[in-house]
Amino acid sequence: MTAFVRVLTVAVLAAASWLFVDPTTATLSGPASASAQEKLTIDQLLQRVRQGRITDNAENQRRINEFAANRNRQQGLLNQTKAAIQTEEARSEVLEADFAELERILNELSTQLTARLGASGEIRGVIRQVSADTRAQIENSIISTQLPGRTELLAKLAASSKLPTTDELIGLWSALFEEMAEQGKIVTYRAPVTNDDGVDEEEDVTRLGPFVAISGGDFLDYSGNTGKLSLLAKQPPSRFTSGASRVERASPDGNFVQAAIDPSQGGILDLLVGTPSLLDRVNQGGNVGYAIIALAGFGVVLGIYRLFVLWGVSGAVRRQIRAKRASKGNPLGRVMLAYEENQNTDVETLELKLDDAILRELPKLDFGLNTLKLIAAVGPLMGLLGTVVGMIITFQQITLFGTGDPKVMAGGISQALVTTVLGLVTAIPILFLHSFAHGSARSVQQVLEEQAAGIIAKHAEGGH
């Protein structure tokens, strides 16, 4: 510190020739204040430097003392922190030892608990399983529409990890027994039913055990998710709905009535709703199917008409054989009239005249038969056309949506198969009709030829 003061004194003395201190303003001025410099002597300047050194020494001593105090205080804090760390480390060792001991005790107690519980764990598991199964059965049972709110205790038991109380076990037994008892009853009660418009209305519902529920002669569908009854989107055939109506009208003390139930508790009815009817199948054939049906209808009408006409002609020909006079109302009569008109000619001419008369009758007998044959051939071809169209639609659906959902391809496949069936159904009966009609026409033709041959033979024997 003394060296610092000495250096400062030399510097001040060196600058004294051009600086001076203004005691009134505490500022330094340069050579511009030459008159003020003359007023301040060297002794005065030295005195002031000495005073400044004393002041600086006091300030430096104060700072040194402050630094020392801070150092002592920081050292004390450091010592306190080290002591606290040592204390906490010792406490940590004690706690670790306590934790290890407590963990050992917990494991021993857990082992003892498992050993002492024994079969009670299995009992809890069985009770939870039975409660969960019973809850699912009750939620999906039609009986819940008559007796709601039976699953709260079952849900609690299914989620509990503790042994149930006696009251809870009695409640589980009561739920099982009640469900079992209600399954053998036929009960009529009031319950909300969702109609076709989606509106819930209070209706009289007749429940046949857990199997089916009916209202107004219609079968109802039960949803376990909503807990509500709704009309089936599609009712079973009338023989089943009539049985449902008989059940609703039956008196408790009356005789037995016959009715249909769904032993799958809704599964069969759901399949029935998804099963398309005959009209639905026909509609799946599309425009090609409608064309095949129209063609089949025309062919069947034409075949039946021609069959009855030929049967009538065959009967008229048989009656003409027994008659003594020829009639224009049947082919044989017209052939016989041709003979009467040409009976004075020679045999060769008569034979030609009769053959001509028979040939004039053949177009009338064969009318419509070629059309039937054409329809029988075109029907399967149109069915094949529908099959190709349906497969094209199927491939388009696969291209757009892939093969992940089979329902996407169902429309095209249905059209392909339905049109094939319609084509075969068209061809089979029309082939039968054509065969019968063709047989009747050939039978009449054979009679005409036989009678014409007999007439010619008799004419030849007569000497013409």
> 247-303: per-residue pLDDT in tens?
777 776 667 777 777 777 777 777 777 676 777 777 878 888 889 999 999 999 999
Separation of alpha carbons 249 and 245, rounded Å: 6
Boundary-marking domain end, from 250, 275, 300:
275
Same domain, 326 and 442: yes
Same domain, 297 and 429: yes
Structural domain harbouring 197:
187-275
Same domain, 292 and 304: yes
**Which candidate, 287, 273, 291, places its Cα nearest to that of 378?**
291
Answer whether residue 351 shows pLDDT above 90: no
Highest mean pLDDT among 32-41, 88-97, 225-234, 235-244: 88-97
Same domain, 289 and 427: yes
Q: Which has the minimum average pLDDT: 5-14, 21-30, 73-82, 157-166?
A: 21-30
Within a domain: 229: yes
Within a domain: 112: no
Same domain, 309 and 437: yes
Boundary-marking domain end, from 41, 69, 86:
86
Find where tokens 């494991």 sit. 107
The percent helix, strand, coil of the chain (3-state, each to 5) is 70, 10, 20
Question: Hey, what are 314's tokens?
Answer: 């065959």
Distance of CA 86 to the CA centre of its chain: 68
Separation of alpha carbons 98 and 71, rounded Å: 40
The pairing of beta strand 212-215 with beta strand 218-223? antiparallel
pLDDT at 147: 85
Q: What is the mean pLDDT of residues 50-64?
A: 82
**Which candidate, 250, 266, 268, places its Cα nearest to that of 258?**
250
Within a domain: 114: no
The pairing of beta strand 186-194 with beta strand 218-223? unpaired
Within a domain: 108: no
Answer whether residue 9 shows pLDDT above 80: no
This prediction's pTM: 0.53
Same domain, 173 and 240: no
Within a domain: 267: yes
Please provide the average confidence, as pLDDT, over all residues in the chain.
80
Distance of CA 412 to the CA centre of its chain: 19
Same domain, 369 and 451: yes
Same domain, 332 and 440: yes
Same domain, 251 and 354: no
Same domain, 366 and 453: yes
Separation of alpha carbons 212 and 262, rounded Å: 6
Boundary-marking domain end, from 164, 183, 202:
183
Within a domain: 356: yes
Answer whether residue 189 shows pLDDT above 70: yes
Alpha helices by DSSP H, 250-346: 267-274, 278-284, 286-322, 331-341
Within a domain: 343: yes
Helix (H/G/I), strand (E/B), else coil: 27: strand
Same domain, 179 and 191: no
Contact in structure between 178 and 150 (CB atoms under 8 Å): yes
Fill in the DSSP letter of residue 31: G
pLDDT at 105: 92
Supply φ then ψ for residue 27, to 5 degrees: -125, 160
Separation of alpha carbons 213 and 233, rounded Å: 14
pLDDT in tens, 101-146: 999 999 988 887 777 666 566 777 888 888 888 888 888 888 888 8
Count of alpha carbons within 13 Å of 226, Cβ hemisphere only? 10
Within a domain: 91: no
Alpha helices by DSSP H, 323-405: 331-341, 347-365, 369-401
pLDDT band at 393 (very low <50, low <70, confident <90, very high): confident
pLDDT at 14: 43
Same domain, 41 and 78: yes
pLDDT at 47: 82
Answer whether residue 7 shows pLDDT above 60: no
Structural domains counted in the chain: 4
